[in-house]
Structure 1
Amino acid sequence: MSMLQVEMDSLGRPIELYYEDIGYGPPVVLLHGYPFDHAMWEEQAFALASGGCRVITYDRRGFGKSSKPADGYNFNRFADDLKALLETLDLHDVTLVGFAMGAAEVVRYMSRHLGQRVTRFALVSAVTPGMAKSKDNPDGADEAKFDDICTRIRADRFSYIDQFVDQLFDDSGASRAVVDWVKSLAEPASRIAMIGCVRAFADTDFTGDMGAAINLPSLVIHGTHDRIAPFASHGRRTADLLPGSVLRTYEGAGHGLFVTHGAMLSEDLLGLVRTPPSQTLPPPVF
């Protein structure tokens, strides 16, 4: 069991991240989605390690086996946690991969820390450039929607998890066993962390971060039937805002494509890792 201390709380108690580090080769760091933990990457971690990569997965603060402090649930802090991980493990020429909320953390890291140690990145089922309704995102959620989610989590977070995961795999053909497994990944999450992240979604717009993003080989991977982060307002807009990115569209895929299109996702990520930093990615194959 590997734990990394990233800071101390106001009472001097350590705040630690749980991480796993497997394989040998170019490093790939995988950032999980909300409200799961590192284990959601099981398929991709296996494929990347088998394909000659060193694969690092970790649990965001408040989730999985990481510490569950009473505060610190904002994207600046998440980006700083990622920076601490990369520096402590002394990783270089890193491929960063973020799913959903994890994709937003990648974008904030690239902006806040100038992409240090990173040579390429992928945003999968991204919630960028923002979840809240705005002039540029008329289909986003209004404040009442975020308030309702927080109320449901306070009242019965397990019921909320059940409904959320069902929405990930709606009409996807995923087996009941797999769906139940994904639900189990959210059970260790802190209620405080779950609510704190909902507020972070509501309060954060990443448009400015993406405009400042470093022009590196990058993939935006998104399903056309994503109900949680709809393709037009998230996948397409994210790709349009990122210089030098390539958009991979998964026809018919929902939000949970890390399961439903797991092998395809693994192949795309391996292709990204193998792209020399000085080159652009090949165009998508339709």
Structure 2
Amino acid sequence: MIISHDVTGTGPAVVLLHSTVCDRRMWDPQLPALAAAGHRVVRCDLRGFGRTPVPDGPYNNAEDVLDLLDHLGVGQAALIASSGGGRVALEIAARRPERLTALALLCTALAGHQPSSGLSAFGDREDALLEAGDVAGATDLNVAAWLGPEADDATREKVREMQRNAFDVQLAAVEEFAQIRYDTDLSAVTARTLLVSGSHDFADFRQIAAHLSDRLPDARHLELPWAGHLPNLERPDAVNPILLGFLRETLTAG
């Protein structure tokens, strides 16, 4: 199955991987800017998000993305990924480093990370609300947890819509299938990497960014003092120039 996607613009390919709070619509504020800068922009919905149905058997998100790139005839691409999408991007970068020209990770998750007490408490509260059938409450919990103080009401409503859709799609599944996991050898990553974190996010994600900046061969870490977990939605006016500048530097260096 080819996961749901859209393609905009022409030029060097940039693939956008969403957070597991959202779907590909989270990149609406970046799409016009990237296309105008001369990129072919590919957005996709991972399984169980947006317009991609839940999996019907064991699956692997990284392989889904690689299958999509093969389907579109994209040999190499820059990856820009948020949170859980960052974990997928890191797997691609480690398993298929020749496919990447650059890697930008916003508040990325990392396979094997042990959550802090604060992040664990959030997860426990979300589970309790869902088990009680309070999907609206779980949705509101996510909106409050993942957006920083710069997010306006329209952004909060957008995230609420995306998160509620994900809950509705996934909770309606008749059977849940596990994702096939592979070890991610960070030493295999060769792409130049930008790591962005937010001061208003859970400390876990700043720690992950700092850890990756030490482990990856060509990486730098930028912490945004105003940002929560979804800075590209909270202040696209600040994040778009950061992403465009990074892509421009990487293409020039390449």
Residue 123 (structure 1) aligned with residue 102 (structure 2): no
Q: Which amino acid aligns with 2:34?
A: L
Pick aligned residue for 2:189 from 205, 208, 214: 214
Residue 49 (structure 1) aligned with residue 35 (structure 2): yes
Structure 1 runs (4+) deviating above 3 angstroms are 70-73, 138-142, 144-151, 192-197, 276-280
Contact 1:28 1:94 in 2 (8 A): yes
Q: Tell me the matched-pair count.
A: 250
Residue 84 of structure 2: aligned partner:
101
Residue 174 (structure 1) aligned with residue 184 (structure 2): no
Residue 11 of structure 1: aligned partner:
none
1:101 deviates by 0.3
Residue 235 of structure 2: aligned partner:
261
Residue 21 (structure 1) aligned with residue 7 (structure 2): yes
Contact 1:63 1:193 in 2 (8 A): no
Distance in 1 (alpha carbons) for counterparts of 2:176 and 2:228: 25
Cα 1:260–1:196 shift into 2, 3 Å = farther
Distance in 1 (alpha carbons) for counterparts of 2:119 and 2:159: 25
Contact 1:123 1:219 in 2 (8 A): yes
RMSD (CA atoms): 3.0
| Counterpart secondary structure, 2:220 | strand
Distance in 1 (alpha carbons) for counterparts of 2:199 and 2:215: 18
TM-score of the superposed pair, with normalisation by structure 1: 0.76
Residue 141 of structure 2: aligned partner:
163
1:65 deviates by 0.6
| Counterpart secondary structure, 2:93 | helix
1:140 deviates by 7.6
* Structure 2 portions without partners, runs of 5+: none
1:185 deviates by 1.4
Cα 1:148–1:251 shift into 2, 3 Å = closer
Cα 1:86–1:116 shift into 2, 3 Å = farther
Residue 191 of structure 1: aligned partner:
170
1:26 deviates by 0.9
Cα 1:210–1:252 shift into 2, 3 Å = farther
Distance in 2 (alpha carbons) for counterparts of 1:145 and 1:139: 9
1:247 deviates by 1.2
| Counterpart secondary structure, 2:65 | helix
Q: Which amino acid aligns with 1:96?
A: L
Residue 13 of structure 1: aligned partner:
none
| Counterpart secondary structure, 1:212 | helix
Residue 84 (structure 1) aligned with residue 61 (structure 2): no
Residue 111 of structure 1: aligned partner:
94
1:273 deviates by 2.0
1:40-90 deviation digits (Å, cap 9, x = unpaired): 0011112101111111101111111112235546xxx00110110111111
Structure in which a larger fraction of residues adopt helix:
2
Distance in 2 (alpha carbons) for counterparts of 1:83 and 1:129: 19
Contact 2:13 2:78 in 1 (8 A): yes
1:124 deviates by 0.7
* Structure 1 portions without partners, runs of 5+: 7-16, 281-286
Q: Which amino acid aligns with 1:168?
A: W
1:92 deviates by 2.8
| Counterpart secondary structure, 1:127 | coil
1:24 deviates by 1.1
